[in-house]
Amino acid sequence: MNKDKTILLVEDEQIAFHTILETLDFYNYRCHGVTTLQEALEIIKKVPFDLILADYMLPDGTCLELLDAVRKFRFDLPFVVITASDDTEIIHKALDRGASDFLKKPFNLKNLPSIIERNLERRRLEQKKNSPQKATVLLKTIKALIAALEAKDPYTSGHSLRVARHARMMAIALDLSEEEQFTLELAAILHDIGKIGMPDYILNKASHLHELEYRIAKEHPIVGSNIVGKIDELKEVAAIIRHHHERFDGSGYPDGLQGEVIPRLARILTIVDAYESIVSRRVYRDAKSSEEALHELAKSAGTQFDPELVKVFNAVMHSELAGKKMRLKIEDFTDISDT
Ligand SMILES: [Fe+2]
């Protein structure tokens, strides 16, 4: 029943490690177990966990370091801290940094499923709370912000809105919920907002960027997600912005997340953003045709992009292009008949 939920256990004490893993397996959770902070920091970039259960004291640090790393890209992932200590300072520190719950050692293993379920349920409720209506009022301000960014960089003028249009087409093709659709569209509109803090000469540079300039340019997903993340209702949008330059094979930035650990909406945004950039004229190169752009995306499916989503985008764009050709034919026909 719970096989669709994946849990990470970080515990260095051998007996606790094995008994917790066995219990989770008994209650049908899929579970990965690691014993050090380093291993945990690695695996969270590769496996899309639904909940983390971590012992406070680990051989190479405390689970607070793991919590900090997780909160950078999974702001809503339930994180339960296991601790043998009664120290309220530890509890306060962990809560301050975004821990969702505590398990005091020793604990009754039978209680594990209800602790896990209560944290998963809390997350579901919080996701529901972020209704599209709350964010709607912000839309106008956001568009003004985008206009300010595009005034700085004429070559990307209209880019965000075109990306949002294609994102909407993907959302419909993938049958995303109304909330997801709205989140994706907002993230698409705002994805490059972090460039607002970038020096103009880097933004508009026609030649190759030097290493330092490139490093500054690569900051924009973090800057953007920090700006947007200040608004509580837009935390999820902020996470998508942070990850719109991650690559499916894990070699992207800023966090080097891999495969399905990259939020799905960010994987969609990466594809539509790349497509839009290829078909637009940029300061450093000419525009390419839609067919060429789709070909480039297909070549990077599995390395840069989620291969399944590239297939969907390809189908969406082909039906869009076919529709355009059809409309052109009808217009041609109307022209002839008018003369
Ligand atoms: Fe970007």
CA 249–ligand 1 middle distance (angstroms): 18
Of 93, 108, 129, which residue constitutes the final position of a domain? 129
Is residue 195 among the annotated active site residues?
Answer: yes
CA 282–ligand 1 middle distance (angstroms): 14
CATH number, domain containing residue 76 = 3.40.50.2300
In a shared domain, residues 179 and 120: no
In a shared domain, residues 103 and 198: no
Q: Please list, residue by residue across 69-78, b when 16 or more beta carbons sit within 10 angstroms of its beta carbon and e when fewer do.
A: bbeebbebbb
Give how far Cα 234 sits from Cα of 10, 133, 237, 238, 262, Å: 30, 12, 5, 6, 18
Q: Determine which of 123-127, 216-220, 330-334 has the lowest per-residue pLDDT on average.
A: 330-334
CATH number, domain containing residue 300 = 1.10.3210.10
In a domain, 234, yes or no: yes
Helix (H) or strand (E) holding 52: strand 51-55
Q: What is the dihedral of CA 144, 148, 150, 154, to 10 degrees?
A: 130
| 27-82 pLDDT tens trace | 999 999 999 999 999 999 999 999 999 999 999 999 999 999 998 888 789 999 99
Q: Does residue 92 register a pLDDT over 60?
A: yes
3-state secondary structure of 33: strand
The number of distinct structural domains making up the chain is 2
CA 312–ligand 1 middle distance (angstroms): 22
- Determine the pLDDT at residue 166: 94
CA 268–ligand 1 middle distance (angstroms): 13
Pick the catalytic residue from 195, 299, 325, 329: 195
Q: Does residue 141 register a pLDDT over 60?
A: yes
In a shared domain, residues 39 and 117: yes
CA 291–ligand 1 middle distance (angstroms): 22
Residues with CB under 5 A from ligand 1 (ion): 192
In a shared domain, residues 84 and 71: yes
In a shared domain, residues 35 and 160: no
Of 129, 160, 177, which residue constitutes the final position of a domain? 129
In a shared domain, residues 73 and 159: no
Q: Does residue 147 register a pLDDT over 90?
A: no
What is the span of the domain harbouring residue 25? 6-129
In a domain, 332, yes or no: no
Q: Are 135 and 233 in contact (CB under 8 A)?
A: yes
The residue-averaged pLDDT of 196-225 equals 81
